[in-house]
Amino acid sequence: MSRYAYVNGRYVPHGRAQVHIEDRGYQFADGIYEVVAVRHGRLVDEGPHLDRLDRSLAEMRMAAPMARAPLRHAMREVIRRNRVADGIVYMQVTRGAAPREHAFPKAAKPALVITAKRLLPKFAQMEKGVSVITLPDIRWKRRDIKTVNLTANVLAKQQAVEAGAFDAWLVDEGGMVSEGTASNAWIVTKDKELVTHTPDYRILNGITRLSVRALAETEGYRFVERPFSLAEAQAAAEAFITGTTAWVTPVIAIDKKQVGDGKPGPLTRALQRLYATYADNPA
């Protein structure tokens, strides 16, 4: 099957989808992105993802490449042309192409790329759970903006993979776990309290994180947003991650130390089921 991408106003074959070498995304990581899940042909949490895209643009002081209605249309067109029923749509907006100078260009137009690909939910991984290692969080201090400034995430993820783990949980100078390289980190304390990091400059406020939080609140689960330490995570009853493609994935070991009894915990399983139902029936 041929794949197609949307690039600055045109639908082009994926293999020939290109941007200029002086696009500021390429030279300065001067861009932002979103990844939205497609489930049974429908977008999961489209509204919150587009709201966050707007927030990232505002924080970066970048103009939107187009209004929301045509953007939603373009997303759907890319999904349709790539015949994606289950998968993801990826959108990237950069400050555009301009002669290389650090300061914002006066005349550049924001550049927009949209791709889509098939990807089934990773049910086996969700069933079994994953292990993570921990690494120092050396990223910049505006992780709340979903920029393509992902060098540190790439290096950490690679270290995790080479260590035989699924991902790395990043630990800040104070010994607190901020998040994974592309997902939010959660624990369940021994007295059944759900804990995940405060949504400040230190983490990306994940859309799946927000949906899982809402589901937990609806169920009446006890929930608190605060930083937690690595020691607390290793001593927790349960641990899991949330993310656009990870959904709710149990974490069964941290730095090779078993979490709880080394099996996905009951509260994790309950949230996993709730989220799967939610993703299967998006609003």
User: Which residue, 172 or 255, has its beta carbon nearer to a copy of itself?
Assistant: 172
Candidate residues 1, 2, 10, 61; the one interacting with a copy of itself per rule CB under 8 A: 61
- Number of C-beta neighbours around residue 265 at 10 A: 23
Three-state DSSP class for residue 223? strand
Report yes or no: 266 and 215 within 8 Å, Cβ to Cβ.
no
For residue 164, the SS3 value is coil
Candidates 64, 152, 230, 270: give the one binding a copy of itself (CB under 8 A): 152
Residue 171 contacts a copy of itself per CB under 8 A: no
- Can you tell me whether residue 47 is helix, strand or coil? helix
Residue 158 in contact with a copy of itself, rule: CB under 8 A: yes
User: In angstroms, how far is CA 85 from the centroid of its own chain?
Assistant: 20
The residue among 135 and 207 lying less far from a copy of itself, judged by its C-beta, is 135
17 binds a copy of itself, rule: CB under 8 A: yes
Q: How many residues bind a copy of itself (CB under 8 A)?
A: 51
**Spatial CA neighbour of 126 closest among 247, 271, 249:** 249
- State yes or no: residue 163 binds a copy of itself (CB under 8 A): no
Beta-carbon contacts of 61 under 8 Å, excluding residues fewer than 6 positions away, are 104
Is 131 among the residues that bind a copy of itself (CB under 8 A)?
Answer: no
Helix (H) or strand (E) segment spanning residue 225: strand 222-225
**Binding flag, residue 155, a copy of itself (CB under 8 A):** yes
Q: Which of 149, 152, 156 is nearest to 133 (CA)?
A: 156
Nearest distance from residue 230's CB to a copy of itself, in Å?
18
What residues line the site for a copy of itself (CB under 8 A)?
Answer: 5, 7, 17-30, 33, 60-61, 90, 92, 94, 99-100, 102-104, 113, 115, 117, 136, 138-142, 147-155, 157-158, 160-161, 181-182
